[in-house]
Amino acid sequence: MKKVIAVIIFFFILIVQCKKDKAVISNPGYAIGVIDFYKPFNTNSSDISFVYSVGGKQYGTGYSNGNNGWSVPSSGTYNSGDKYMVQYDINNPKTCRFLFDYPVHDSTDYLNDVSQFKTHPPSCCLILPLFKI
């Protein structure tokens, strides 16, 4: 019975996460996110918080693998102040995801990534916590 419940929970989380992914990917906008805080994998989760600006308004958010949010790498050399691409929903800029695979070193990186995303948007990087089934 525990296995059945675990499988049901897994698929529920997957469905909820896919709806969240679709909202951002269907109406994408891009900004430069600056890491405020990053904590690598520690027994339960990896956490990140970051800020980004859209239309002159600054947004701050964070998430962790422990609360089934967007994927956060369990290890890496991410530091406060590092800049990466952020993908957000243009209809709701508070809905976003941090693109760990796209560091931004200067404005050229940002412009190249935005240009590339027009024809090849970043793939969904959903990583759910591992369940023992």
Q: What is the mean pLDDT of residues 16-42?
A: 73
Task: Give the long-range contacts of residues 60-63, CB within 8 A, separation 24 or more.
Answer: 60/36, 61/94, 61/96, 62/36, 62/37
Q: Whole-angstrom Cα distance, residue 31 to residue 122?
A: 13
Q: E strand or H helix at 51, and its extent?
A: strand 45-54
Residue 62 lies in a domain: yes
Residue 130: inside a domain: no
Q: Is the pLDDT of residue 60 over 60?
A: yes
Model confidence, pTM? 0.70
In angstroms, rounded to a whole number, what is the distance separating the alpha carbons of residues 35 and 52? 9
Task: Count the domains in the chain.
Answer: 1
98, part of any domain = yes
Residues 14, 22 contacting (CB under 8 angstroms): no
How many C-beta atoms surround the C-beta of residue 121 within 10 A? 13
Query: Please, which pLDDT band fits residue 122 given cuts at 50, 70 and 90?
Result: confident
Q: Does residue 129 belong to any structural domain of this protein? A: no
Cβ count near 83 (within 10 Å): 18
